[in-house]
Chain A
Amino acid sequence: MQTSDSELVQKCLHGDNSAFDALVRRYQKQVFGLCCRMLGDDAEAADAAQESFIKAYNAMSSINKDRSFLSWMFRIANNCCIDFLRKRSRRKVVSFEDIEGNISDSGSTPERISMKKETARILQAALMHLPEKFRAPLVMFHFSEMKIKEISEILRKPEGTIKSDLHQAREMLRRRLEGVVIET
């Protein structure tokens, strides 16, 4: 039977580093996925995800027992991504047209993989044009499959605001993807 998150957190608080290792392995895909969608750059996303886990480890004693570890982790990761975006805006302007993901997709034909890659690339470019406050709920809802209530807890906004932001984000995305939408 798989050890629960709260048990692993407790072990971690008692100095068991292997427990934290297990938590990282359990949630690295979700956290990295969130960072990828938020930042649109794999290398930066990997850095942000690492930073998020380090921050989580250092702040482990402050975790609320009633709250899920993943929600808490997502909050840290989201804040980390915002920091990265701020640093980026001071440092350079990334050309989102050059975003090329090393997407793993087994069991599909080369044409399908290529098409999927292309769609993902266009989608990521469109996502990067969304304002940060709209991107976060959209990514959490559609990619991380979180519920509105969970997102409102992570982003500390009322559920109504999250819904409204989500609808606006989808609307912006629809306008950006207009050509692609017609083709599909």
Chain B
Amino acid sequence: MNCTTAREVLNSVLDGEEHPDLEEALNHNKECKQCDIWYKEMKSVLGILESSRDCVPEIDLADIVNARLTKKNPLRRLAAVTVFAWLAGLFILAAVVFGFSRSMNLDSIIISSINSYDFLKTGLISILGVVFSITRALGTAFWEIYKNNEFRTVFVRFVALDSLFLLLSAFIWRRRKQTSISLNLVA
């Protein structure tokens, strides 16, 4: 048996395995002084590892972990995300109302030109906007709690969705303005 094979066998034995060639490897060590010293040193290393096994300071993590988990109470999280979602929803609502009031020319001087049909339509759209905003905000908050994601994700999602919504509002407003101009030209 050569040195490499003998050391492989002895390493397996040091791993706690039984090896059929152990006898042969030990016989090799009797003839090879280097391998014999190596094996003795390896056994000493194992002895040091064994003797240091329990040398770990005593610690009680349970209370600290518990305190940290209470801090991250899902109910508190839910409350925080919901408040944030509502605030974001309100911001969108304000943007929607502003966009549609512009589209209906509510801020123009000629109030008399607005007929009752437009008023009704604006009101309905606003109510729908409120319902949409609140539902979406709450839905997102609950979804985030369920998925247990970070707060940042909620924010990014809101920004992405609200940007889309604002773009849509702007598009509708532009279309309505163009129609209004065309009607004026026809008139």
Contacts and interface: CB of A to CB of B under 8 A. Distances in A.
Given A20-B69, A21-B66, A177 B57 contact: no
Interface string B10-41: 01001100000000000000000000001001
B14 to A, nearest CB: 7
Nearest to B68: A54
Contacts of B42: 170, 174
A49 interface: yes
Interface residues of A, number: 46
Contact of B45 (A33, A50, A174): A174
Contact of A101 (B57, B61, B64): B57
Contact of A181 (B44, B54, B66): B44
Interface in A104-132: 104-105, 116-117, 119-120, 123-124
Given A17-B69, A28-B59, A170 B47 contact: no
A136 interface: no
Given A42-B57, A170-B42, A184 B48 contact: yes
B48 A50 contact: no
Nearest to A23: B62
B59 A32 contact: yes
A116 B44 contact: no
A81 interface: no
B52 interface: yes
A168 to B, nearest CB: 10
B111 interface: no
Given A17-B66, A148-B15, A116 B52 contact: yes
11 contacts: A36-B56, A50-B65, A53-B61, A101-B57, A104-B58, A105-B55, A142-B46, A142-B53, A143-B52, A173-B45, A174-B41
7 tightest A-B contacts by CB?
A120-B55, A181-B44, A142-B49, A28-B61, A33-B56, A120-B52, A24-B62
Interface of A: 17, 20-21, 24-25, 28-29, 31-33, 36, 42, 46, 49-50, 53-54, 57-58, 101-105, 116-117, 119-120, 123-124, 141-143, 148, 163, 166-167, 170, 173-174, 177-178, 180-182, 184
